Structure 1
């Protein structure tokens, strides 16, 4: 049913509802959601790039299954992982633009978040098939440091470990003026949703369908 899998952090409650409507895709329900109508902003166009993922933060980037794994094996592995690891309080989120796109990011990410990400990347990697030559060539179209290129070859994704920065993406690439307009429109919408500290309380196993859309398979509470 799914061509690729990924491990995300996905929020729940009002923040999840906002993200589904803003992006136009509810990954938990596996369905499209009408965008909000905002004067002067083509929300569908602004959110076209991140829509297929739903509101999320990548913990282990999308991958194909290794020959030694399978969907049920992967599900059990993620369940076992969640039972061994504890939730992480990452403090408040802030809305901003960085690296050319608008996102929610931790104000000050704690070391425990980096530890959790490293554990997810490394402990679940046996279930990832090696990158293909086409995968590698596509990744190398972006400017990568030597470390990022090595990480891409070793772990399937360049932006891990020291290069990991948690973010919940809300737009595709934007020019500065358009990003400012989006930030102005979104700030009053998201402010009450991010007033409390964000707790990474679960990891979500996602599957990508043949149309490219990501669906929640299961959200595993971190109970270790």
Structure 2
């Protein structure tokens, strides 16, 4: 079993609904959200397994002395102490061969939140095995990213963090225009809307390679 701490909008949000239809499954109930479509499934099979999310602490095995109940309680307390963070403009962008929703301008509070999550829950993470380390292809990483991987279990933390909500796997160059058009058609006016980060979720992978499911959601403290 692995767990991850992700942001995802509420199950009933329009962005969540359309993203689920795009990916073909909902991480909230694990159910299919549309009929299979070979061309679209080829684009979305990788992110569909993880569900629509933004990574705050990447998937990890729990340390021997920790359990899911403790993680749940600690995340509930953490979220109850945090203020929401608003992204003024969430837009579709191409990140190398991938497409994702990203902030047009990331507020400093977003990076501060990610760092706080990574540090707060590090004591509950089991150290990477050599197999897990090699699965991240350390030879492709920068020296700093390899250092992050060894220390924090994930290369893209702190200065290397970039908030993104993945929509596709790698898209071949000859298909990128088509993918861009399909994304624009599907998400329409949601491209460019604000997004408030006001909850975090525990996503659960029951066994390696299985689809991730939302285990629990914890709201930030109310405003006003």
Which of the numbers 72, 82, 85 marks the counterpart of 1:85? 82
2:190 paired residue number: 193
In the TM superposition, what is the alpha-carbon distance from 1:184 to its structure 2 partner? Answer: 1.1
After superposition, give the CA deviation of every residue in 1:80-110 in whole Å (9 maximum; x if it has no partner). Answer: 1101111101211111211210111100001
- Name the CA shift for 1:99/1:195 in 2 (closer, same or farther; >3 Å): closer
Aligned to 1:15: 15
Equivalent residue in structure 1 for 2:95, among 86, 98, 104: 98
Instruction: For 1:142-157, list aligned pairs within 5 A.
Output: 143-157=140-154
**How many residues matched?**
219
For the residue of structure 1 that corresponds to 2:176, the secondary structure is helix
Quote the residue 1:116 is aligned against: 113
Cα distance in 1 for residues equivalent to 2:205 and 2:156: 20
Contact persistence 2:138–2:146 (CA under 8 A): no
Task: Write the deviation string for residues 107-155 of structure 1: whole angstroms up to 9, x where unpaired.
Answer: 0001100000000000011111000011112223551111111111111
Task: Decide whether the 8 Å contact of 1:35 with 1:44 is kept in 2.
Answer: no
Relative distance call for 1:81 and 1:35 in structure 2 (3 A) is farther
Aligned residue for 1:213?
211
Q: For the residues of structure 1 that align with 2:176 and 2:119, how far apart are their CA atoms? A: 35
**Residue aligned with 1:109, SS:** coil
List runs of 5+ in structure 2 lacking aligned partners.
none
| Maintained 8 Å contact 1:83/1:223 | yes
Cα deviation 1:160-199 (Å, max 9, x = unaligned) = 0010101111111012231211111221322322443111
* Aligned mates of 1:208, 1:170 — CA distance in 2: 19
- Deviation sequence 1:50-105 (CA, Å, 0-9, x none): 11111111110000000121010010011011011111012111112112101111
Q: Aligned to 1:151, what secondary structure does the other structure show?
A: helix
**Corresponding residue number in structure 2 for 1:178:** 175
SS for the counterpart of 2:46 is: coil
**Equivalent residue of 1:91, what SS?**
strand
Shift of 1:36: 7.8
Tell me how far apart the structure 1 counterparts of residues 130 and 196 of structure 2 sit (CA, whole Å): 38
Cα RMSD, aligned residues only:
1.6
